């Protein structure tokens, strides 16, 4: 399956929603792929009768100019930017849209710098009709879990500050992936997540079936961030993704499958290197992700330069990997042949962390939301310090 993944057939063929989620997934897909697409963007059309699967890239807002002097082998084509630069944020969104991406999963926890940058990114995303979700960084720089009370307070702040913004899914529920859930007890996860699932969709970030099963009753699904998988060595990785997707769906949850472009974290102590193979690695991993029947694919990553999993146009690769992604998704290649010219991630040699709305009237550009699968309805509706270890 190293060849081209055809978005009109393969994406739709593997996206087989079940039960009452069909209507919600169809609504999400129609909103993402059909309504209000920016001028110049070519939508990835699904095969008739089956919706496409949204593709969301993990996105990091921790950069300032000094970030680029530590553990980097490449720099962006836009230069050693700051995540405070609104022109950079806008260019990222426009390139992402041109390549066929539907949104970013933005790394965040409530610090002055990250919250300021998230607000600016959200304002630009609203202007560009681009969607955002959050990957909440639940571990500190030493890769230890933050206090559960701090996470609860941060999520409450996010709800109060951002949940009403249509960019994050209003009037549906914004989606938050809780990074590092494997370091928390089921009791702590339940204490934080359960009372907030009326306002948020909260996904775990578990790396294996036992990890997910211990939290399944307290979360709305699972997003697996696996940047270091090597298709040449990890021969059972596709089967692992399929088994995880099946388990999440059996609990009525949302499954976000990972796909990465490559991996190399040797400058921060890692040993594993996953060759990009001029795009072949991304094609294989996208095929495996889609074969797991995901509700979305979490693409690794837009701009994680420390572990060399970035797709963003850079000095070393130019726009090559956005062109590969565009080809995979049958979208318009980004016009990035010419460019105007908080701390990096801490990663060892592995990886583990990655909106479904009600069907809206097609004539109205409705906001994007994510709804859980049928039987797990809840409530009234019945990356700094991120530990990514290979499992």
pLDDT score of 171: 66
pLDDT score of 52: 77
The single-letter DSSP state of residue 366 is P
- Number of alpha helices (DSSP H) and beta strands (DSSP E) in the chain: 10, 10
What is the C-alpha radius of gyration for the chain, rounded to an integer number of angstroms? Answer: 19
Distance CA 320, CA 323 (A): 5
Q: Would you state the structure tokens that stand for residue 133, as one six-digit string?
A: 């979700």
How many CA atoms does the CB half-sphere of 352 hold within 13 Å?
A: 19
Q: pTM (2 decimals)?
A: 0.79
Does the pLDDT value for residue 72 go beyond 60?
Answer: yes
Q: For 183-211, what is each residue's pLDDT tens digit? A: 999 999 999 999 999 999 999 999 999 99
Q: For 86-128, what is each residue's pLDDT tens digit? A: 999 999 999 999 999 999 999 999 999 999 999 999 999 999 9
Distance CA 255, CA 72 (A): 32
pLDDT score of 292: 97
Q: 3-state SS of 322-348? A: HHHHHHHCCCCCCCCCCCCCCCCCCCC
Q: What is the rounded average pLDDT of the residues 323-328?
A: 95
pLDDT score of 28: 39
Q: For 350-385, what is each residue's pLDDT tens digit? A: 332 223 332 222 222 222 223 333 333 333 322 333
Map out the domains of the chain with their CATH numbers: 7-381 (3.20.20.80)
195 phi/psi in degrees, rounded to 5 = -75, -5
């Amino acid at each position: 399956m190293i060849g081209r993944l055809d978005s009109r057939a393969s994406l739709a063929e593997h996206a087989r929603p079940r039960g009452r989620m069909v209507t919600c997934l169809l609504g999400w897909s129609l909103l993402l792929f059909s309504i209000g697409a920016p001028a110049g963007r070519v939508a990835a059309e699904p095969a008739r009768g089956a919706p496409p699967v949204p593709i969301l890239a993990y996105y990091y807002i921790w950069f300032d100019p000094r970030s680029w002097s530590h553990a980097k082998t490449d720099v962006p084509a836009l230069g050693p930017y700051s995540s405070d630069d609104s022109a950079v944020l806008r260019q990222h969104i426009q390139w992402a849209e041109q390549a066929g991406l539907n949104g970013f999963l933005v790394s965040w926890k409530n610090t002055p710098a990250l919250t300021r940058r998230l607000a600016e990114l959200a304002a630009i995303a609203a202007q560009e009709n681009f969607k955002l979700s959050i990957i909440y960084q639940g571990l500190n720089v030493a890769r230890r879990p933050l206090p559960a009370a701090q996470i609860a307070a941060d999520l409450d702040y996010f709800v109060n500050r951002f949940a009403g913004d249509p960019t994050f899914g209003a009037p549906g529920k914004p989606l938050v992936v809780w990074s590092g859930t494997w370091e928390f007890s089921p009791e702590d996860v339940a204490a934080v997540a359960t009372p907030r699932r009326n306002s948020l969709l909260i996904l775990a970030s578990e790396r294996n079936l036992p990890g997910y099963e211990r939290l399944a009753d307290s979360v709305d699904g699972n997003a697996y961030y696996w940047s270091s998988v090597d298709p040449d060595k990890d021969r059972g990785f596709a089967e692992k993704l399929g088994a995880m997707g099946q388990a999440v769906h059996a609990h009525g949850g949302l499954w976000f499958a990972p796909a990465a472009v490559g991996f190399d974290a040797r400058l921060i102590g890692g040993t594993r290197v996953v060759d990009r193979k001029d795009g072949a690695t991304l094609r294989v991993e996208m095929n495996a992700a889609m074969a797991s029947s995901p509700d979305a694919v979490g693409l690794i990553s837009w701009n994680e330069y420390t572990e060399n999993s970035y797709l963003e146009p850079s000095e070393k690769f130019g726009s090559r990997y956005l062109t590969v992604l565009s080809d995979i998704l049958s979208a318009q290649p980004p016009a990035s042949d010419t460019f105007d010219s908080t701390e990096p991630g801490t990663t060892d040699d592995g990886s583990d962390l990655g909106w479904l709305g009600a069907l809206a009237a097609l004539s109205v550009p409705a906001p994007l939301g994510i709804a859980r699968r049928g039987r797990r309805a809840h409530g009234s509706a019945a990356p700094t310090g991120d530990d990514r270890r290979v499992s």
